Amino acid sequence: MQATDVVELLEELKEEEDLPRGVQEKIHEMIHVLEEDIDLELRIDRVRSILDDLEEQANLPNYLRTQLWHIAASLEML
Protein backbone atom coordinates (compact mmCIF):
# COMPACT_ATOMS: atom_id res chain seq x y z
CA MET A 1 0.00 0.00 0.00
CA GLN A 2 1.24 3.51 -0.82
CA ALA A 3 0.12 7.01 0.09
CA THR A 4 -1.44 7.32 -3.37
CA ASP A 5 -3.68 4.35 -2.57
CA VAL A 6 -4.95 6.09 0.55
CA VAL A 7 -5.50 9.27 -1.49
CA GLU A 8 -7.63 7.24 -3.90
CA LEU A 9 -9.72 5.90 -1.00
CA LEU A 10 -10.22 9.45 0.26
CA GLU A 11 -11.12 10.72 -3.22
CA GLU A 12 -13.81 8.04 -3.48
CA LEU A 13 -15.10 8.93 -0.04
CA LYS A 14 -15.19 12.61 -0.93
CA GLU A 15 -17.64 11.84 -3.74
CA GLU A 16 -20.33 10.64 -1.31
CA GLU A 17 -23.39 12.87 -1.71
CA ASP A 18 -24.56 13.10 1.89
CA LEU A 19 -21.28 14.05 3.56
CA PRO A 20 -21.50 16.96 5.97
CA ARG A 21 -19.57 20.01 4.75
CA GLY A 22 -17.07 19.85 7.61
CA VAL A 23 -16.30 16.23 6.81
CA GLN A 24 -15.70 17.08 3.16
CA GLU A 25 -13.26 19.77 4.21
CA LYS A 26 -11.37 17.38 6.50
CA ILE A 27 -11.16 14.78 3.73
CA HIS A 28 -9.80 17.42 1.36
CA GLU A 29 -7.26 18.42 4.04
CA MET A 30 -6.13 14.78 4.45
CA ILE A 31 -5.65 14.45 0.69
CA HIS A 32 -3.60 17.64 0.65
CA VAL A 33 -1.41 16.43 3.53
CA LEU A 34 -0.76 13.06 1.88
CA GLU A 35 0.27 14.78 -1.35
CA GLU A 36 2.77 17.09 0.36
CA ASP A 37 6.47 16.60 -0.27
CA ILE A 38 7.51 15.92 3.33
CA ASP A 39 8.50 12.85 5.34
CA LEU A 40 5.94 10.05 5.08
CA GLU A 41 5.80 9.49 8.85
CA LEU A 42 4.98 13.16 9.40
CA ARG A 43 2.21 13.02 6.79
CA ILE A 44 0.76 9.87 8.38
CA ASP A 45 0.78 11.46 11.84
CA ARG A 46 -0.99 14.57 10.55
CA VAL A 47 -3.65 12.50 8.77
CA ARG A 48 -4.18 10.39 11.91
CA SER A 49 -4.74 13.58 13.87
CA ILE A 50 -7.36 14.73 11.34
CA LEU A 51 -9.02 11.29 11.49
CA ASP A 52 -9.17 11.52 15.28
CA ASP A 53 -10.90 14.91 15.00
CA LEU A 54 -13.38 13.51 12.50
CA GLU A 55 -14.26 10.48 14.60
CA GLU A 56 -15.26 12.75 17.48
CA GLN A 57 -17.95 14.50 15.42
CA ALA A 58 -21.46 13.62 16.50
CA ASN A 59 -22.99 14.09 13.04
CA LEU A 60 -20.75 11.46 11.44
CA PRO A 61 -22.84 8.74 9.74
CA ASN A 62 -22.01 5.19 10.89
CA TYR A 63 -21.03 3.98 7.40
CA LEU A 64 -18.58 6.89 7.16
CA ARG A 65 -17.06 6.08 10.53
CA THR A 66 -16.42 2.53 9.28
CA GLN A 67 -14.76 3.85 6.12
CA LEU A 68 -12.56 6.15 8.18
CA TRP A 69 -11.45 3.15 10.26
CA HIS A 70 -10.53 1.41 7.00
CA ILE A 71 -8.47 4.43 5.98
CA ALA A 72 -6.76 4.45 9.39
CA ALA A 73 -5.91 0.75 8.96
CA SER A 74 -4.56 1.49 5.48
CA LEU A 75 -2.27 4.16 6.96
CA GLU A 76 -0.85 1.48 9.27
CA MET A 77 0.34 -0.43 6.20
CA LEU A 78 2.35 2.45 4.81
The per-residue pLDDT for 68 is: 92
CA distance 60 to 23: 8
pLDDT value, residue 57: 84
Q: DSSP code of 15?
A: T
The pTM for the full model equals 0.90
Instruction: Please say whether the beta carbons of 6 and 27 come within 8 A.
Output: no
pLDDT tens readout for residues 33-55: 999 999 999 999 999 999 999 98
Is it true that domain 3-76 has CATH number 1.10.20.10? no
The burial class, CB within 10 Å (0-12 / 13-18 / 19+), for 68 is buried
Query: Mind listing the pLDDT tens digit of every residue in the chain (78 residues)?
Result: 899 999 999 999 999 888 888 899 999 999 999 999 999 999 999 999 999 999 888 878 888 899 999 999 999 998
